[in-house]
Amino acid sequence: MNLIPAPYEFKQGVGSFRINGELTVGSELDLPLIKLKKSDNPDITVKKADMPKEAYRLTVERDGIEILAADKIGAYYAFQSLRQLSRAELGGKSIECCEIYDKPRFSFRGLQLDESRHFFGTDAVKKLIDTMFMMKLNVFHWHLTDDQGWRIEIKKYPLLTEIGSKRKNTQVGGWGSRKMIEGEYGGYYTQEEIKEIVEYADERGIMIIPEIDFPAHCAAAIAAYPWLACRELDREVPGYFGGVVPETVLGIRDWNRTICVGKDDTVNFVFDIIDEVCELFPAPYFHIGGDEAPKNEWKKCPHCQKVIKDNGLKNEEDLQGMFNNAVLEHLKAKGKRLIGWNEILKAGNLDKSAVVQYWTPQRDKRAEDFVNSGGSMIMSNHHSFYFDMTYSQYPLKFTYDYKPEKFGVSTENVKNVLGVEGENWTEWIDSVEVLDCRLHPRMEALAEVAWSEERNKNWHSFKKRLDAFKPYFDYLGINYAVDEVSLPKNLIRRGKIRKLFFKGDTHYEVKLNKEYKSKGAR
């Protein structure tokens, strides 16, 4: 059975269905994406049935194929399975008889893309959505703002894109490098483009959750509107991502600046942004980031200190907590839940209805206590789900072997885990080719973690099915990491590649992958 992700139940039948020419379909459900010819005596019959959301039953017999599903997406997933089983696009001429009953393990099966550090654009995002759809992933977390670029049009604050979407130069050569490539780098999505992409994803059962990162990672917004910061200084959108680059100018670390949450104007700005962004994204979630918020500016700011004093807050962490709670209430009034990275739990006063996304490389007892006491959580533990890391750092198996229990979630509280999500941060990912090499086959491993029951997961079986899937990467024009790269066996070589990455050759593994491929590696 060549199918990724592994289905819930699979029974092998006898014989096979022969594909003679173009397949025809007859459906009780409206399936606009299925372009097969309609027929009254079809090869594939789709019937509406009482089933869980996204589930389907697929029966392949010698004389016909039947799909049962409760909704459009369940039926599409059956077609996606049929697509891999038939390999029709790759020249397949038959489908082995079988019966599949399939449904997801987790309801939240996500992938994130950072388009602030590098911008990929509509076509690349749609292609990513297509591949997610093939893998039965259903959440696209869109990181649209960060220090190095604001990438979403906001009509009330036009300078966010006029100024905030452009930087003059870009750091290359990894963390700590002083090397900059000069030249304007920019790009953003208009609201019309956003609507088009949201609709495209929705047709494929994919919810898009926007992330507008507050209160930190706001240097691009502050460059556009300096009054957002505690100190109103004239600063540019930074082209560097972090490390030992000049950070001491005016004592400002431009690659991660925090807005002043002690001023009403700033908090109202955040509400205004949320109001506009919520109009574009129907998802019942809104991601406010909340990660890595330095408190040095707040400590010296009279506005921030006044709010702390007036509200009897313990410290600056609780000031962030108070800000988060205000945003959470604002979102709640719109029927939306706040998602934030696990640093938001540092605040002692955070409302328990927040959804926490656990990412930190260091274990976080607060995060683990939160999920084990009923809090809703999305798991993106660095070790398994930070796809921007090289394979020499995190081999493919780190993703495949993921279990929430390995990161402190007790067995009885796995039910509080909404799901898992892979992260594509793009400081050192400057093209689709590099992105794809880091992402595939990690996305396929993620899909199996997200969709398949633990009892149906098996590394050796996955590897075999992945080998069978690889022709699809070539067919779809997707760069992927071959075994030699994604499963580095040679520890000495692995150490060398890791060292080269830290010395600044951030594309070494991608180059090596190309070399291996040219020699016929898969």
Interface with ligand ACM (CB under 6 A): 291-292, 341, 359
Q: Which listed option, ligand ACM, Zn ion, none, makes contact with residue 260 (CB within 5 to 8 Å by class)?
A: Zn ion
Q: Which listed option, Zn ion, ligand ACM, none, makes contact with residue 341 (CB within 5 to 8 Å by class)?
A: ligand ACM
How far apart are CB 307 and Zn ion at their closest, in Å?
Answer: 8
Q: Which residue has the tokens 């509406």?
A: 48
Point out the residue whose Cβ comes nearest to ligand ACM: 291
* Residue 202, token pair as written in the block: 């929705």
- DSSP letters, 116-145, are TTS---HHHHHHHHHHHHHTT--EEEEE-E
Q: Which is nearer to ligand ACM, 341 or 451 (CB)?
A: 341
How far apart are CB 334 and ligand ACM at their closest, in Å?
Answer: 24
Q: Angle at Cα 474 formed by Cα 472 and Cα 475, nearest 5°?
A: 60
User: What does residue 219 show for φ and ψ, rounded to 5 degrees?
Assistant: -60, -35
Determine contact, residues 474/369, Cβ cutoff 8 Å.
no
Q: Is 466 in the site for Zn ion (CB under 5 A)?
A: no
Determine contact, residues 266/323, Cβ cutoff 8 Å.
no
**Cβ count near 22 (within 10 Å):** 9
Q: Which is nearer to ligand ACM, 197 or 216 (CB)?
A: 216
Q: Which of 141, 217, 287, 330 does the annotation list as catalytic?
A: 217
Is 292 an annotated catalytic residue? yes
In angstroms, the CA 176 to CA 160 distance is 28
Is 146 an annotated catalytic residue? yes
Determine contact, residues 513/441, Cβ cutoff 8 Å.
no
* Residue 6, token pair as written in the block: 């592994």
Q: Name the amino acid, one letter, at 321.
A: G
Q: Which stretch binds Zn ion (CB under 5 A): 213-221, 254-262, 272-280, 353-361?
A: 254-262
Q: Which listed option, ligand ACM, Zn ion, none, makes contact with residue 291 (CB within 5 to 8 Å by class)?
A: ligand ACM
How far apart are CB 143 and ligand ACM at their closest, in Å?
Answer: 9
Burial of 444 (0-12, 13-18, 19+ CB in 10 A): buried
Q: Which is nearer to Zn ion, 126 or 295 (CB)?
A: 295
How far apart are CB 289 and Zn ion at their closest, in Å?
Answer: 18
Q: Which stretch binds Zn ion (CB under 5 A): 35-43, 295-303, 340-348, 485-493?
A: 295-303
Q: Coil, strand or helix: which one is 41?
A: coil
How far apart are CB 35 and ligand ACM at their closest, in Å?
Answer: 39
Determine contact, residues 5/448, Cβ cutoff 8 Å.
yes
Q: Which listed option, Zn ion, ligand ACM, none, makes contact with residue 208 (CB within 5 to 8 Å by class)?
A: none
Strands 94-102 and 24-27: unpaired
Q: Which is nearer to ligand ACM, 150 or 387 (CB)?
A: 387
Q: Which listed option, ligand ACM, Zn ion, none, makes contact with residue 301 (CB within 5 to 8 Å by class)?
A: Zn ion
Q: Name the amino acid, one letter, at 362.
A: Q
Distances (CA, A) of 436 to 211, 362, 384: 22, 27, 17
Q: Which listed option, ligand ACM, Zn ion, none, makes contact with residue 140 (CB within 5 to 8 Å by class)?
A: none
The answer for 88, left when phi > 0, alpha when psi is -120 to 50, beta otherwise, is: alpha
| Cα dihedral sign, 389-395-396-397 | negative
Distances (CA, A) of 29 to 67, 73, 84, 134: 11, 10, 22, 20
Q: Which is nearer to ligand ACM, 96 or 292 (CB)?
A: 292
How far apart are CB 291 and ligand ACM at their closest, in Å?
Answer: 4
Number of residues that bind Zn ion (CB under 5 A): 6
How far apart are CB 430 and ligand ACM at their closest, in Å?
Answer: 18
In angstroms, the CA 308 to CA 330 distance is 21
Q: Which listed option, ligand ACM, Zn ion, none, makes contact with residue 230 (CB within 5 to 8 Å by class)?
A: Zn ion
In angstroms, the CA 173 to CA 504 distance is 4
Q: Which is nearer to ligand ACM, 86 or 424 (CB)?
A: 424
In angstroms, the CA 429 to CA 437 distance is 10
Scan residues 193-232 and list those touching Zn ion (CB under 5 A): 230
Q: Which listed option, Zn ion, ligand ACM, none, makes contact with residue 47 (CB within 5 to 8 Å by class)?
A: none
Q: Which of 196, 202, 292, 433 does the annotation list as catalytic?
A: 292
Q: Which is nearer to ligand ACM, 341 or 398 (CB)?
A: 341
For the window 255-294, what string marks contact with Zn ion as x by the rule CB under 5 A?
A: -----x-x--------------------------------
In angstroms, the CA 293 to CA 232 distance is 18
Q: Which is nearer to ligand ACM, 114 or 509 (CB)?
A: 114
Residues making up the chain, counted from first to last: 522
Q: Which is nearer to ligand ACM, 291 or 436 (CB)?
A: 291
Q: Coil, strand or helix: which one is 170?
A: strand
Q: Which of 146, 318, 343, 388 does the annotation list as catalytic?
A: 146
Q: Coil, strand or helix: which one is 362?
A: coil
Q: Which is nearer to Zn ion, 304 or 446 (CB)?
A: 304
Q: Which listed option, Zn ion, ligand ACM, none, makes contact with residue 292 (CB within 5 to 8 Å by class)?
A: ligand ACM
Q: Which listed option, Zn ion, ligand ACM, none, makes contact with residue 203 (CB within 5 to 8 Å by class)?
A: none
How far apart are CB 306 and Zn ion at their closest, in Å?
Answer: 9
How far apart are CB 522 and ligand ACM at their closest, in Å?
Answer: 32
Count of CA atoms in the C-beta half-sphere (13 A) of 406: 14
Continuous H helices in 38-144: 72-86, 122-134
Query: Which residues would be at the binding site for Zn ion (CB under 5 A)?
Result: 230, 260, 262, 301, 303-304
List residues with catalytic annotation.
146, 217, 292
